[in-house]
Amino acid sequence: MNELKKYQPTESELEILQILWDKGSATVRDVHDLIESVKDTGYTTTLKLMQIMTDKGLLERETGNRTHVYKPLLTREKTQESFLNKMLNGLFKGAESRLIMGALDNKQLAPAELQQIKEYLKQFENKQP
Amino acid sequence: MNELKKYQPTESELEILQILWDKGSATVRDVHDLIESVKDTGYTTTLKLMQIMTDKGLLERETGNRTHVYKPLLTREKTQESFLNKMLNGLFKGAESRLIMGALDNKQLAPAELQQIKEYLKQFENKQP
DNA sequence: TTTTAATTACGAAACTTTTCGTATTATATT
DNA sequence: AATATAATACGAAAAGTTTCGTAATTAAAA
């Protein structure tokens, strides 16, 4: 089993990853400007975090030019899966349907999404355990 | 807005809370014996954590007897809600239905639960945005 | 070219969480 | 009553995360 798959990014790491997932790749400046608009933090803090993440193998960077370009080495999907599984095996163990219903409550899902979920549900019906 | 509602227990705190939620109330010994069966850790570690949680207002304790009895001050439901909302606003933002479908994939839900979810879905249909 | 501005490197402080060792106190056993 | 056992109290170390200041380096501007 892949180690990257299992690693759970910290809160700050997730913040950075989200930006990199959105943009595909970015410089420290790019990332920091977005983070700064939400949270009061210094440039070198973001820099250091991204350097540490690179050491940990969460990011890769292109050092050809003076300004380095970073890319995520984890996919958003794998990370989502990892966190979701953690919740389902932990806090929501034995209450999986509560998680589903809670998620339905949370956002007003678009009709298309509701339909998609309905379709998705069908595949689990008439299944023998 | 209630502070307790917002506080996100740490990983170790959650482990202890799960046990207290299951049992209603318990001593350090009770909690530790269960944790020890899964994780290699010392008794005083569990003790200290529960003392800190009491200071933080996550637990209350009855100190009448020598052996103290602890109870959770957070409900499992509020805690689940809090973590779920965090995910929906963070890692799963804009991918709420992915969370739902991921949860459906994860466990073989009982037919009754599937039915319950189907029913639950109905309430969101025919809603005007 | 000289000066200014922006970037990386990096150590270390500040915080938080987790872990443990030791002392003290209370209960149970002999 | 004396001894052994079990519990709490508590400081502090260990480990992990986040933050920042300063120095060195590179590029851009004057």
Q: In strand C, which positions have an atom below 7 A from any protein CB?
A: 6-12, 16-22, 26-27
In whole angstroms, C14 C1' to A45 CA is: 13
Are the beta carbons of A117 and B99 separated by less than 8 Å? no
Separation CA A72–CA A50 (nearest Å): 10
The set of residues, in sequence order, having a beta carbon less than 8 Å from that of B78 and lying 6+ positions away, is B4, B5
A91 inside 8 A of chain B by CB: yes
**pLDDT over 70, % of chain B:** 93
In a mutational test of the B interface, the residue from A8, A91, A125 whose CB has the highest number of chain B CBs within 10 Å is: A91
For residue B41, say whether its CB is under 7 Å from any atom of strand C.
yes
Q: Which two tokens stand for residue A121?
A: 């549900």
Question: The pTM is what?
Answer: 0.92
Using a CB-CB cut-off of 8 Å, the residues of chain B touching A18 are 90-91
Is the pLDDT confidence value at B85 over 80? yes
Model pLDDT, residue A23: 98
Residues 1-60 of A with CB under 7 A from strand D: 10-13, 39-42, 44-45, 47-49, 52
B104: exposed, middle or buried (Cβ count in 10 Å: 0-12, 13-18, 19+): buried
Task: Provide the pairing of β-strand A59-62 with B69-72.
Answer: unpaired
pLDDT in tens, chain A (129 residues): 444 447 899 999 999 999 999 999 999 999 999 999 999 999 999 999 999 999 999 999 999 999 999 999 999 999 999 999 999 999 999 999 999 999 999 878 888 889 999 999 988 876 555
Measured CA to CA, the distance from residue B120 to residue A98 in angstroms comes to 11
Model pLDDT, residue A85: 95
Q: Which of A17-31, B27-41, B101-115 has the lowest mean pLDDT?
A: B101-115
* pLDDT at site A126: 64
